[in-house]
Amino acid sequence: MKESELQKLVEELSLIYFNKPFRHRALFNSRLRTTGGRYLLHTHNIEINKKYYEQFGEKELVDIIKHELCHYHLHLEGKGYRHRDPDFRKLLKEVDAPRFCSPLPEYRKRRKSSKIIIYSCKSCNQVYKRRRSINISRYVCGKCRGKLIKIKELTSE
């Protein structure tokens, strides 16, 4: 799919589902990693992750576009356009758009195979599980301010 086809699709979906024109640009952004698309507040453009179209097909692409158009139209009308706003949630239901997109298989795989490091407090034995290692000489227990020690490192494959 070309960007001109994406632009045309976004304009059509805007008229079909929202009865309002889309007057800005819709484009593919290959740098998006974990999200299907995003609405840019300053330019009012919509960026779409092309990987979602390539891996899930046109239905997922249409769902992502409807979601981003909800942000777009609500923001331009001065209503609540954020995920937590009631206006946004109501409009999502009206146009049958998902609140979140499906995770890409490659991202899901990367998340599952990550390591988990377990730290414990010497004083109160509070346990902390972290995906990233921390500098135990700089950080202390959040409960009692005691010294932390590294217990073990788990890797899940």
* Whether 68 is catalytic: yes
Q: CA-CA distance, 137 to 149, in Å (whole number)?
A: 9
Q: Which of 47, 58, 68, 106 is catalytic?
A: 68
Handedness of CA 25, 10, 97, 18 (dihedral sign): positive
**By C-alpha distance, which of 71, 93, 64 is closest to 22?**
71
Which sequence positions are flagged as catalytic? 68
